[in-house]
Amino acid sequence: MPELPEVEVVKRGLLNHLPGRTITDFRSDGKSLRKPVPEKRMRNYLVGAKITDVSRRAKYLLIELDNEAIMILHLGMTGTLGLFEKNSQTLTHDHVCFCLDNNYEMRFNDVRRFGSIIIASPKETKDLENTVFKTTGPEPFDQIFSGKYLKELARDRTQPVKSFIMDSRVVAGIGNIYANESLFGAGIRPSKKIGAISLKKYNILVDEIRRVLQRAIECGGSTISDFLSASGESGYFQVHFNVYGKNGAPCPRCSATIKQVKLGGRASFFCPKCQR
């Protein structure tokens, strides 16, 4: 599943092409994504509107329009967005194509159809944090996200720390890959109970989360088979993984053998010597 860095990379790629473009039409193959494609709302709010900005909230892309409506896209597990010449061949899973005024199309391809498209009307866009993002925590780069914030939320709780930081209600957009890497950087075992972690360690963890995510964004996102950036180039952050997917390999710090366990149904990788 594309994680926050991958979505941020797509956002930055689209920012180079979409602002100033008018959506002249769209095509849908009639198949539902996670929910039915809101074709009536797309007709009412997208067609004829000019794109003014592209932003990101958690793992969602927000395409802002000059009529103050916003199209909110989630890539799901296998979704990709790409820009193609209007008359170029479409692919089997190009479920929705947005026609632009420069003879290009933005195509939403989603093999497993777990992605989604939400159209927020001008009135609805004013309250997105209390509707669409009501249960979404702060962004990892927001000032409110701090060691003190995590320590206060963790008080008297026994949840494993990896599950804690992957909870989108706690902080937005930290998926399995970058949770593993951040915890390794902070020297915290994924299974450690959150109430037992010190404020000092939480401050280190927040710094590591930001560092790992920023590095991933700079590298173009992790190379996973279902992700392409808007420019059509795969990311390559996976070459920098320290523990993720490295079960049985030597730790890059101490050469101890990296272990794998399951937490919350997800694979967790850690060094038993470096992470306590």
Q: Summarize pLDDT for 129-155 with one digit per residue, the tens.
A: 999 999 999 999 999 999 999 999 999
Among residues 27, 34, 253, 266, the one annotated as catalytic is 266
30: tokens are: 């009639």
The predicted pLDDT at position 2 comes to: 77
Residue 196 DSSP symbol: G
CA 132/CA 123 separation, integer angstroms: 13
Q: Is 5 a catalytic residue?
A: no
Q: By percentage, how much of the chain surpasses pLDDT 70?
A: 93
pLDDT band at 89 (very low <50, low <70, confident <90, very high): very high
Annotation says 2 is catalytic: yes
Q: Which fold has domain 4-130?
A: N-terminal domain of MutM-like DNA repair proteins (3.20.190)
Q: How far apart are CA 241 and CA 181, in angstroms?
A: 7
What pLDDT is stored for residue 197 in this prediction? 98
pLDDT tens, residue by residue, 110-132: 999 999 999 999 999 999 999 99
Q: How far apart are CA 268 and CA 100, in angstroms?
A: 43
Is 57 one of the annotated active-site residues of the chain? no
Q: pLDDT of 55-65, one tens digit each? A: 999 999 999 99
Classify residue 79 by burial, with Cβ atoms within 10 Å: 0-12, 13-18, 19+.
buried
Q: What is the per-residue pLDDT for 13?
A: 85
Q: Which CATH class is domain 147-270?
A: mainly alpha
Confidence class of residue 226 from pLDDT cuts 50, 70 and 90? Answer: very low
- Per the model's pLDDT, the better-predicted residue between 187 and 82 turns out to be 187
Catalytic residue selected from 3, 8, 64, 208: 3
The residue-averaged pLDDT of 242-265 equals: 96
- CA-CA-CA-CA dihedral for 46, 48, 53, 54, to nearest 10: 40
Tell me where in the chain the CATH 1.10.8.50 domain(s) lie. 147-270
Residues of the chain with CATH 3.20.190.10: 4-130
Which ranges of 79-232 would DSSP assign to H, the alpha helix? Answer: 147-154, 161-165, 176-186, 199-219
Sheet holding 51-57, edge to edge: 51-57, 60-65, 70-74, 116-120
Q: Per the structure block, which two tokens stand in for 253?
A: 């710090």
SS3 content of the chain, % helix, strand, coil (to 5): 30, 25, 50
Among candidate residues 11, 59, 107, 189, the one labeled active-site is 59
Spatial CB neighbours of 112, under 8 Å, sequence gap ≥ 6: 76, 77, 78
Give the span between the Cα atoms of 276 and 271, in whole angstroms. Answer: 9
Q: Say which of 2, 5, 140, 160 is annotated catalytic.
A: 2
Q: How does residue 233 score in pLDDT terms, banded at 50, 70 and 90?
A: low
pLDDT at 228 exceeding the cut of 80: no
Question: Which residues have CB under 8 Å from 68's CB, separation 6+?
Answer: 122, 125
Distance CA 214, CA 167 (A): 20
pLDDT band at 250 (very low <50, low <70, confident <90, very high): very high
Note if 126 is an active site residue: no
Closest CA to 172 of 122, 203, 132: 132
**CA-CA distance, 244 to 258, in Å (whole number)?**
9
Helix axes 199-219, 147-154, angle to 10 degrees: 120
Comparison of pLDDT for 166 and 222, the residue scoring more? 166
pTM: 0.90
